[in-house]
Amino acid sequence: MGRTKNSTLVERARKTVPGFDSMYKKLEKKVKLSGLSSSTLLNYGRSIAKIALHFGKPPLELEEETINDYLLELKAGEQPSESYFKHTVYGLRYLFRLFGREDQAIKLPPLRRKNQLPVVLSRAECRRLFCTPKLLKHRIMLALTYSAGLRLGELIALRLEDIDSDRMQIRIRQGKGNKDRYVVLSDFILQGLRKYFRACHPKTYLFNGQKKGQPMGKRSVQWIMRSTVRQAGIKKPVSLHTLRHSFATHLIEDGVDLFTVKEQLGHARIETTLRYIHVARQVKRTDVHSPLDTLYRA
């Protein structure tokens, strides 16, 4: 539904705003050649098309003050969306740089990251969450997300052949930044997956959608998470991504080193992983020993 609406917005601008079509074609070509995701093109295209439709001309033809007034109005709207504002600024910046307008790109307002710590579920809350759904498919889906620290897009893109039970790994295809990686396959979740395979007989994708040969949609998974959280009586403001935060935090609490956690999550920078140190409960370890005791251990 969201994709159709956003695509229609771009199509309207291409048909009604003079000069928008040729500008968008160049933008689309650059985004694809740069290896950026289709969602990036969708978000940039939507925000740029909305500005073009608002003023009746492409953003490249607008004065700096006009764009800033538009952004200010966007920020102060009745229902301001932080993510939409961010996509608008990023989209404009990318567009200006693409057309050699670096000076105008620099003048756009900087986007400062909010220094907010992620919400994390306790281990007891995780256990309660995973046993709440009545459907086996839903229980496995949520537990698998937590067990490997998956993003929503990574979860629904999983194919049957991505589960490598011999090496106890899961292959993540084209994760964030279009990078492949391998993550840990829990022995516990493998047992659940085998039970799920016997009961549900998935084809192609690990979690099939309603249409044959298609994966489950993002909104369906988000609905499953929301309804399960409500039924489990969890009051924290959580989403499916909270399971990924919980995975990272619990690994650190278990003593797993930061570099390993970074690789499992697929972070490009260690600084992104460091924030989980501030969330993890500091566990006092009493098993300190001399390295000599393990020096000659086979």
Q: How many residues does the chain have?
A: 298
Q: Which of 176, 181, 218, 275 is the catalytic position?
A: 176
Alpha carbon distance 199, 40 (integer Å): 37
Strands 181-184 and 163-164: unpaired
Q: Which of 93, 244, 245, 250 is the catalytic position?
A: 244
Q: Which of 46, 151, 245, 250 is the catalytic position?
A: 151
Our answer to whether residue 241 is catalytic in this structure is yes
Residue labelled with tokens 């994760």: 175
Our answer to whether residue 267 is catalytic in this structure is yes
Our answer to whether residue 244 is catalytic in this structure is yes
What's the Cα-to-Cα distance from 82 to each of 51, 61, 270, 271, rounded to whole Å?
Answer: 17, 25, 25, 23
Q: Which of 128, 137, 267, 275 is the catalytic position?
A: 267
Alpha carbon distance 151, 149 (integer Å): 7
Phi, psi of 253 (to 5 degrees): -65, -25
Region class of 118: left (phi > 0), else alpha (psi between -120 and 50), else beta? beta
Query: What DSSP designation does 171 have?
Result: E
Which residue in 81, 74, 10 sits closest to 48, CA to CA?
10
Alpha carbon distance 38, 41 (integer Å): 5
Our answer to whether residue 151 is catalytic in this structure is yes
Our answer to whether residue 276 is catalytic in this structure is yes
Q: Which residues are catalytic?
A: 151, 176, 241, 244, 267, 276
